[in-house]
Amino acid sequence: MSHDYVGKSWGDVPNEVKKQLLSNAICLDIEHSCIASEGSCLVELKETLVVPGELIDGKIVIDNNAELYNPIIRDLNDDLFTEPDDEVYKKYERHMKNRPHVVLLGAGASMAALPNGDKNGRKISAMSGFIQKLGMEGVLSSINLKTKSDNLEDIYMEMYDRDDCTQARLNLEERIYNYFVDFVIPDGPTVYDFLMLSLTRKDLIASFNWDPLLVQAYLRCVKITDNLPQLAFLHGNVAVGFCDSCNVMGTTFMECPHCGKHLMPVKLLYPIRNKDYASIKAVEKSWKSLQNALEVAYMVTIFGYSAPKSDAAAIAMLKQAWGNVTDRKFEEIEIIDIRNEDDVVKSWENFIHTHHYSVHNSFFKSTLSHCPRRSCEATFDRLMNCRWLQAGRGYNESMNFDDIKMLLKSLIIEEKNNSGMLSDPYI
């Protein structure tokens, strides 16, 4: 057991145990709050067992006199834990709090952002009934589809597999693109604005949605602070442009800062079972960003994404990046979904370690809403430092942009002047 070696020197650990502990060790660069690539590091042998060491040419080197610690649970009355050990814990705490919060968005998130429609009253449609929304029934009835489903995914997958449906499928793709291009975000704050301002640049929002609402929210939130999360669009997006030559992503109306050419619209990935994520450079880049963030994420929020059958490959890629669930003993999964909780948990059981999850039917019940801009800090303080969080210090649905600015003002100021561990105003 790993706790049997707390307080012992590395030289006291049997060689067989050393080999076992090192097989899954992670080297942490505490100074820069990231995974170490070379030099001095904190070697995380288990979540409850760490030891100072070095990474030299890819090999972990630990001095035989180096002492092993439990960075999470400590007996404050034990003489073992003196001041230097408190410093080790503080460094570990800072590392954990500075890990990313990753948010996955599905169609349910965009529907939650527009409960009353967009600025012009247009509403996001679910996949079921989507064809009727586009007024395509007449075109599709002429090709005698075998599926009786009214779900866009089922209809498109059949059309994709049939040579006699090629022209109708291309017409459908054009209608879909034009349908989403016309959406305009309402003037007041939407769920996407609250979400955008609840995270910082260490975090990532990855969207499966084609609509432009997240980009539109970003463009106005950046006027409040430029410390906003990274964005990734896993199936393309009608508001995103890309320069293939310079590998630059931005909005469709931007010019490439390197070559000066207008960014070209990113092709959308439509619902087929075997999507080629590498065929579109902008999409491939987005997936790489997500995989990198997931590997080191402390928190993951899944918002309105039901993992449809056409996304089987996507789920496999997410699972590969997340890794073995038994190695995620301290990470937290939050799911925002209006479905029955048992069904939701079953959908994501391969990502959840035992009880380390929560399910909410509204964004405003999530950690992102209760603890904006400090979700990882507050979660670590609640679960690891056993601190009570104060209710009512986060967002509420009635806030306007001035209210949001006032709430976040001191946090944003602190972020500009602090490169270490940020304060937690929610304890």
What CA–CA distance (Å, rounded) separates 366 from 427? 16
Asked if the model's pLDDT at residue 76 lies above 50, the reply is no
**Predicted pLDDT at 287:** 92
Residue 48: CA count within 13 A, CB half-sphere: 10
Q: Average pLDDT for residues 64-75, to the nearest whole number?
A: 71
Helices then strands (H, E): number in the chain? Answer: 15, 14
**Predicted pLDDT at 103:** 98
**Predicted pLDDT at 85:** 57
**Predicted pLDDT at 233:** 96
Lowest mean pLDDT among 79-93, 190-204, 216-230, 257-271: 79-93
Identify which has the larger pLDDT, 311 or 353: 353
Q: Average pLDDT for residues 361-387, to the nearest whole number?
A: 95
| Token output for 134 | 């586009």
DSSP notation for 224-281: T-S---EEEEBTB-TTEEEETTTTEEEETTPBPTTT-PBPEEPPPPPS-SS--TTSSH
The contacts found for 357-364 with CB under 8 angstroms, 24 or more apart, are 357/332, 357/333, 358/332, 358/333, 358/334, 359/334, 359/335, 360/334, 360/335, 360/336, 361/336, 361/337, 362/112, 362/336, 363/112, 363/191, 363/194, 363/195, 363/303, 363/336, 364/194, 364/395, 364/396, 364/397
Average per-residue pLDDT in the chain?
87
Asked if the model's pLDDT at residue 176 lies above 80, the reply is yes
**Predicted pLDDT at 83:** 44
Q: Around Cβ 231, how many Cβ atoms within 10 Å?
A: 19
DSSP notation for 361-393: SSGGGSHHHHSTT-HHHHHHHHHTS-PPPPTTS
Burial of 251 (0-12, 13-18, 19+ CB in 10 A): middle
Q: Average pLDDT for residues 331-359, to the nearest whole number?
A: 91
Evaluate whether 11 touches 18 at the Cβ level (below 8 Å).
no
**Predicted pLDDT at 82:** 43
Spell out the domains of the chain, with CATH numbers in brackets.
Answer: 2-96 (no CATH), 100-117+184-417 (3.40.50), 130-179 (no CATH)
Q: Average pLDDT for residues 167-188, to the nearest whole number?
A: 92
Asked if the model's pLDDT at residue 209 lies above 70, the reply is yes
Residue with tokens 């790993």: 2
**Predicted pLDDT at 3:** 54
Q: Average pLDDT for residues 346-365, to the nearest whole number?
A: 92
**Predicted pLDDT at 1:** 47
